[in-house]
Amino acid sequence: MAFVGMGIGADMTLIGKDVILLVLGPGWATAGRIFKFFGPGVGIMLIYNTHGWLHLSIGTAHRWFRWVVVEFAVTFLLFLVGIHWGPEGIAGAWTLSFWILTIPAFWYAGKPIGFGVMPVITEVWRFILAALVAGGASAMILRSVPVFAGVTGPLGALVRMVADSLLFGALYLIAVAVLHGGMAPLLQFRGLLLDMLPWRKYSRKAPAISLPTPEASDTELVTHPF
């Protein structure tokens, strides 16, 4: 979840404005600016939503309900603050709410079983750092190339989207591999992705089952049931 979410979130931050320009046209430039504020919240939102798995797996749905009340209150207060900056402020408040609530949410969900928050932090911090490094490097590299800045309109948006995504994707994969000291996360994701393919499920052969040899009494019972 962190590997995919952080990558998508950082990429959407880079190309969000161009996505809106390409899909909806130049009249939606304001929506494009707003969309960029949602990008940094995509990855952390996916991670945050998994805290509910803890509540369900240990049978503490009542605690989950209490946490939802806290989540609503914090998000509402952030919206009240962000509204002073208009739609961009609301989008930023939405993103900020997940970054604020994620660690407390896992702490509260795992408290009955002593789960803590370190297992979550240990697993996701490298993906967060990789997305920041790759996103920052991609922005600096492509903004320094005049040809990308000079192309306007839907064609320019498409060119920037493709260039941004390809460069960021390459840098992100490299950063993930370097921070993890190997290709383990990439291989794990590949394995999970292959397991999700529908044709692989039906192409697998059922494992051979060795049936015990029936005893004489069993054979007699089957031959003469009455």
Q: Does residue 216 form part of some domain?
A: no
CA distance 140 to 214: 74
Q: Does residue 119 form part of some domain?
A: yes
Lowest-pLDDT range of 50-54, 70-74, 160-164: 160-164
Q: Does residue 212 form part of some domain?
A: no
On whether the CB atoms of residues 5 and 147 are closer than 8 A, the answer is: no
Residue 46 backbone dihedrals phi, psi, to 5 degrees = -65, -40
The runs of H, that is alpha helices, within 2-144 are 2-24, 29-38, 42-49, 51-57, 61-82, 86-110, 118-143
Q: Does residue 12 form part of some domain?
A: yes
Q: Does residue 213 form part of some domain?
A: no
134-143, pLDDT tens digit by residue? 999 998 888 7
Confidence of residue 226 (pLDDT cuts 50, 70, 90): very low
Q: Does residue 198 form part of some domain?
A: no
Residue-level pLDDT at 212: 59
CA distance 149 to 84: 31
Confidence of residue 19 (pLDDT cuts 50, 70, 90): confident
136-172, pLDDT tens digit by residue? 999 888 877 765 565 667 777 888 888 889 999 999 9
93-103, pLDDT tens digit by residue? 999 999 999 99
Q: Does residue 197 form part of some domain?
A: no
182-221, pLDDT tens digit by residue? 888 888 888 888 888 876 655 555 555 555 555 544 444 4
Residue-level pLDDT at 224: 46
Q: At what angle do helices 29-38 and 86-110 cross, to 10 degrees?
A: 20
Instruction: State which residues form the domain around 147.
Output: 2-185
Q: Does residue 199 form part of some domain?
A: no
* Number of compact structural domains in the chain: 1
CA distance 131 to 200: 31
CB atoms near residue 50 (< 10 Å): 15
